[in-house]
Every structure is written in structure tokens, then in C-alpha cells.
Chains A and B, each alone.
Chain A
Amino acid sequence: RKEVEQDPGPFNVPEGATVAFNCTYSNSASQSFFWYRQDCRKEPKLLMSVYSSGNEDGRFTAQLNRASQYISLLIRDSKLSDSATYLCVVNLSGGFKTIFGAGTRLFVKA
């Protein structure tokens, strides 16, 4: 079993739609959690951290369920520019060993 698992997609949604991505992790000792975004042929960039209480940044909402070892990302009012691969990321052992999920591809259509 992979340490971080994501649905690879692709998710094809129209502009304005709401889309949700899920991620599960296997190591209960995982300490911190993130969503990164990666555009085609570019490097990954931090989208947002994920906190136990849930957090929101504009159209993006991230949630963490430690009991179920589950992380989610919700994107509201999708834009064409949201088209990218979204990587679920988990930090282990003191916060520096980083495990990336394989990513979920999103295509937002006009």
C-alpha cells in the first residue's frame, strides 16, 4: 500500500463548478499535511497547509481527519487557471521527511 494515496483523475469540470479531492495516508505518526499544485512541466508549489481545524483560503478549503487518516481539498467556483495537478503531501518524523501523493489532475473547461 502506498503511503499517500490519491485518485489520479482526471477530473473534468466546467468553469464555476465545485470539485473535491481526497487523499489518504497510511502512517499514523504523520505530523503535518499540505496541498501542492503542479502545472504541466513546472515545479510543485505550495497551495496551502492543512490544519486539524480545517482552513480556508479564498475558494480553497482544506480539511484533515486524523482518525480516518484522510485529507481533502475543496475548490469552489472553478476557474480555467485552476487546471493543474494537485499533490497531497505528508510530513513524517519531525516534519522534514516528505511524502508526496501521485497527484490528482484537474481540467477546468470553458
Chain B
Amino acid sequence: DAGVIQSPRHEVTEMGQEVTLRCKPISGHDYLFWYRQTMMRGLELLIYFNNNVPIDDSGMPEDRFSAKMPNASFSTLKIQPSEPRDSAVYFCASRPLDREYNEQFFGPGTRLTVL
């Protein structure tokens, strides 16, 4: 069974450009999470979805960031316009509904560099 799939794995772009990160969660998982990891701030939860509906986006840093989940098998995180301080590794994770099974499964991440 494939794990969480993220694309691209690496992205280098120039300040001001739009960046779109993509995620395919594990089939059957009801929850999807977007995280950002930097040396300075560690791993931060940006937003999470339940059954394609955004539940908590309080971690989204500002209006330049937006996330969508049009269906159960696909989500995007968009940054427009991008800035050098957005450089980080962005992880997507998913987990099933069962409260007894709390493990989140992470994708390999997208390493974003904004010049």
C-alpha cells in the first residue's frame, strides 16, 4: 500500500512566484494535515482537514497561504506570492478516524527554497 505521496520533492523558486505543493493521503484516511518544518521553529501544524473540510487553519501564517482539499485523495497548499522566509520543508500527513489509532503517517516532504 502506498504511503502519503507529496510532489514535488524539491522546489526552488524566486520571490514573488506562486508555489503549489501537492499531497495524496493514504486511501481511507479521514484526516489530512499540513505542516511546515524549519530549524528555527521546528514542526508547525498549518491546517488540518476532516473529510475534505478544513477544521483548524489557525496555524496558517498569513493570507499568502491557502489550502484546499477538493476530494478525499488530493490536497494542495499554495503560497502566493512566495517570500524567502517561506523556505522550509512542508510535510503532509494523514490518519484514520479511529481515535484509538492515533498515528499520523507523514509523506516525504517538499523542500521549498525561495530565492
Contacts and interface: CB of A to CB of B under 8 A. Distances in A.
Nearest to A97: B56
B108 A43 contact: yes
Interface stretch (B12-20, B21-29, B71-79, B99-107): B99-107
Contact of B43 (A42, A95, A97, A100): A100
Contact of B45 (A44, A45, A87, A98): A98
A96 B96 CA distance: 11
A43 B31 contact: no
A34 B109 CA distance: 21
B45 A95 contact: no
Interface residues on B, range: 20 to 34
Given A32-B102, A34-B102, A96-B31, A43 B91 contact: yes
A30 interface: no
A100 B31 CA distance: 17
A28 B80 CA distance: 37
A74 B29 CA distance: 31
A41 B47 CA distance: 22
Contacts of B44: 100
14 contacts: A34-B102, A43-B91, A44-B106, A87-B43, A91-B102, A95-B99, A95-B102, A96-B31, A96-B55, A97-B56, A98-B45, A98-B104, A100-B45, A102-B42
Interface of B: 31, 33, 35, 42-45, 48, 50, 55-56, 91, 99, 102-104, 106-109
Interface of A: 32, 34, 42-46, 49, 87, 91, 95-103
